């Protein structure tokens, strides 16, 4: 193909000469031209932003992969990369400052958050949650209330006596989140995903997501409408819950019909992806019409969509190839498992499609959030101590929830498993910062807390689990 250049240098020269030859006629055509120049800067600015995004995402993938080698989540690497990009600012070099406030970069970053919460919704396994339902629910409730109270009523007045009550609310809200991606990986690595402790943590995380979003809706509503009485808070909460319940209910009724109808027109996976994203974006808008953050809608869209609805869409290219494979294997003894894999392959799940779509966007959010950390505020010892205090509160608040895991589960494993704040906490902090409720100092402190809670878990949790297994070798597996 294009190895014309690499294979044969003579051809390179030929091609070069060809292109040069091409150019000779252009001036002759354009000779007689005059005219008035207009905005040459736009294309260049646009291209600069794109180039920044292109390079940043590659660097983020590198940082994420390095983090994964250290058994950390890639998010942590991406976040630290963003923070590292803030180092030049300390030396008075403000090159990246323009980007982090750039509207297009922020747009991509916000789009990424929508996709992220949509993914979280898609991956939330309500069925799984049901099994350990009540226990997980109680753990989740405690794991939300305790950190919230600690943050809003203890830490906020103590660390930020001059802060507004809105600020206190946001601080509490960022402490409620749970991001169990890394915990789930630890459980998988140590092959204890099937134990009761693991099931409770994973179930509680889904409850946590939903509760966190409702809290966000309420806090957001309060921040937006200023002075708020109990009646209005009840009204905002009612709206949030009503939106989630009604929209998921209506969506589940409509989605299969829409999917069937559109698959008759075009059954390709590109339609499937467009449809899934339309749900995510449409729900984000609907949510915002109810005064909720767009991410609440996107999460609801993820919860309601089920791959079954869009099962008629297939990947035409893959389908062809797989049919060839099946033909080749036909007269052979091919296990039913393999045949199943092949059939699966034809349909690409919504989760996979959205994951592919998000691959490029999502790192932008984490890098931009990291860049928003003003490193100079961290030079203050007081700020660092505050970050530490917040981290301690964040850890304690979740460990307390472990006490409610009940018999058959290890409270230390459950409690520690809930500690990492990850994405959701970051999204809260980013929203608070954008709306001006959270200042530079508090934002930096929150990010440090999120980094520490996320960083600690894969280091401490495996030791606790191993100790727990040694003490009572067989933990009741839930079947």
The contact mask relative to a second copy for 12-31 (x = CB under 8 A, - = no) is x--xx-xxx-xxxxxx-xxx
455 binds a second copy (CB under 8 A): no
Which of 165, 194, 376, 476 lies at the binding interface for a second copy (CB under 8 A)? Answer: 165
Residue 77 Cβ vs a second copy, minimum distance, rounded to whole Å:
11
Report which of 151, 234, 203, 78 is spatially closest to residue 429, judged by C-alpha positions: 151
Residue 418 Cβ vs a second copy, minimum distance, rounded to whole Å:
17
338 binds a second copy (CB under 8 A): yes
**With the CA atoms of 215, 218, 223 and 228 taken in that order, what torsion angle do they form, in degrees rounded to the nearest 10?**
-130
Contact, 216 vs 290, CB < 8 A? Answer: no
Residue 426 Cβ vs a second copy, minimum distance, rounded to whole Å:
17
40 binds a second copy (CB under 8 A): yes
Query: In whole angstroms, what is the distance from residue 400 CA to residue 176 CA?
Result: 13
188 binds a second copy (CB under 8 A): no
Which of 94, 103, 161, 473 lies at the binding interface for a second copy (CB under 8 A)? Answer: 103
Which of 87, 90, 250, 278 lies at the binding interface for a second copy (CB under 8 A)? Answer: 278
Provide the token pair at 29. Answer: 């055509």
194 binds a second copy (CB under 8 A): no
Report which of 177, 170, 85 is spatially closest to residue 369, judged by C-alpha positions: 85
175 binds a second copy (CB under 8 A): no
Which of 159, 192, 262, 448 lies at the binding interface for a second copy (CB under 8 A)? Answer: 262
Provide the token pair at 116. Answer: 């992220």
Residue 162 Cβ vs a second copy, minimum distance, rounded to whole Å:
14
Number of residues that bind a second copy (CB under 8 A): 152
Based on CB atoms, which residue is closest to a second copy, 267 or 374? 267
Residues 342-381 that bind a second copy (CB under 8 A): 342, 345, 352, 356-357, 359-360
Residue 385 Cβ vs a second copy, minimum distance, rounded to whole Å:
26
Provide the token pair at 68. Answer: 């994964």
**With the CA atoms of 241, 439, 79 and 144 taken in that order, what torsion angle do they form, in degrees rounded to the nearest 10?**
-40
Residues 65-84 that bind a second copy (CB under 8 A): 65-66
Buried/exposed code over 255-282 (b: 16+ C-beta within 10 A; e: otherwise): beeebeebbeeebebebbbebbbebbbe
Contact, 367 vs 56, CB < 8 A? Answer: yes
139 binds a second copy (CB under 8 A): no
Q: Is 314 helix (H, G, I), strand (E, B) or coil?
A: strand
Based on CB atoms, which residue is closest to a second copy, 333 or 407? 333
What's the residue count for the chain?
479
Query: In whole angstroms, what is the distance from residue 255 CA to residue 80 CA?
Result: 39
Q: Is 477 helix (H, G, I), strand (E, B) or coil?
A: strand
Which of 194, 376, 434, 476 lies at the binding interface for a second copy (CB under 8 A)? Answer: 434
42 binds a second copy (CB under 8 A): yes
Q: Is 253 helix (H, G, I), strand (E, B) or coil?
A: helix
Residue 254 Cβ vs a second copy, minimum distance, rounded to whole Å:
13
Give Cα separations from 115 to 178, 382, 415 (angstroms). Answer: 18, 37, 29
Residue 463 Cβ vs a second copy, minimum distance, rounded to whole Å:
28
Contact, 446 vs 159, CB < 8 A? Answer: no
Which residue in this structure is represented by tokens 């919230």? 148
Based on CB atoms, which residue is closest to a second copy, 90 or 134? 134
Query: In whole angstroms, what is the distance from residue 125 CA to residue 203 CA?
Result: 8
Residues 404-433 that bind a second copy (CB under 8 A): none
Residue 479 Cβ vs a second copy, minimum distance, rounded to whole Å:
18
48 binds a second copy (CB under 8 A): yes
Piece in contact with a second copy (CB under 8 A), picked from 90-98, 372-380, 435-443, 446-454? 435-443
193 binds a second copy (CB under 8 A): no
């Amino acid at each position: 193909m294009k190895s014309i250049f690499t294979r044969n240098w003579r051809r390179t020269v030929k091609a070069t000469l060809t292109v040069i030859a091409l150019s000779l006629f252009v001036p002759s055509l354009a000779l007689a031209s005059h005219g008035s120049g207009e905005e040459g800067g736009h294309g260049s600015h646009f291209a600069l932003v794109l180039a920044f995004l292109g390079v940043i995402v590659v660097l983020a993938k590198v940082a994420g992969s390095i983090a994964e080698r250290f058994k950390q989540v890639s998010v942590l690497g991406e976040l630290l990369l963003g923070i590292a990009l803030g180092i030049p600012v300390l030396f008075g070099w403000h090159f990246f400052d323009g980007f982090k406030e750039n509207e297009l970069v922020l747009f991509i970053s916000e789009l990424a958050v929508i996709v992220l919460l949509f993914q979280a919704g898609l991956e939330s396994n309500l069925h799984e949650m049901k099994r350990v339902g009540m226990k997980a629910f109680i753990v989740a409730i405690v794991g939300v209330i305790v950190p919230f109270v600690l943050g809003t009523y203890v830490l906020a007045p103590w660390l930020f006596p001059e802060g507004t009550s809105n600020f206190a609310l946001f601080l509490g809200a960022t402490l409620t989140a749970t991001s169990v991606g890394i915990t789930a990986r630890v459980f998988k690595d140590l092959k204890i995903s099937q134990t009761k402790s693991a099931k409770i943590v994973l179930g509680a995380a889904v409850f946590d997501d939903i509760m966190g979003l409702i809290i966000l809706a309420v806090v957001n509503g309060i921040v937006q409408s200023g002075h708020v009485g109990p009646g209005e808070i009840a009204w905002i909460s009612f709206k949030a819950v009503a939106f989630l319940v009604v929209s998921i209910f209506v969506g589940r009724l409509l989605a299969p019909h829409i999917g069937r109808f559109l698959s008759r027109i075009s059954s390709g996976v590109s339609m499937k992806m467009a449809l899934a994203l339309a749900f995510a974006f449409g729900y984000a808008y609907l949510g915002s019409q109810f005064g909720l953050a767009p991410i609440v809608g996107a999460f609801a869209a993820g919860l309601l969509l089920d791959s079954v609805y869009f099962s008629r869409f297939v990947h035409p290219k893959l389908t062809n190839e797989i049919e060839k494979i099946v033909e080749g294997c036909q007269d052979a003894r091919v296990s039913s498992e393999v045949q199943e894999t092949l059939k699966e392959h034809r349909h690409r799940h919504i989760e996979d499609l959205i994951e592919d779509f998000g691959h490029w966007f999502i790192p932008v959010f984490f890098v931009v959030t990291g860049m928003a950390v003003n490193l100079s505020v961290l030079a203050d010892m007081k700020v660092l101590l505050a970050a530490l205090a917040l981290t301690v509160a964040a850890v304690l608040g979740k460990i307390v929830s472990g006490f409610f895991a009940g018999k058959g589960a290890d409270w230390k494993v459950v409690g520690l498993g809930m500690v990492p704040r990850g994405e959701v906490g970051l999204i809260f902090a980013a929203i608070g910062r954008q709306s001006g409720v959270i200042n530079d100092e508090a934002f930096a402190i929150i990010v440090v807390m999120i980094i520490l809670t996320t960083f600690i878990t894969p280091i401490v949790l495996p030791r606790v689990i191993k100790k727990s297994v040694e003490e009572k070798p067989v933990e009741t597996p839930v079947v």
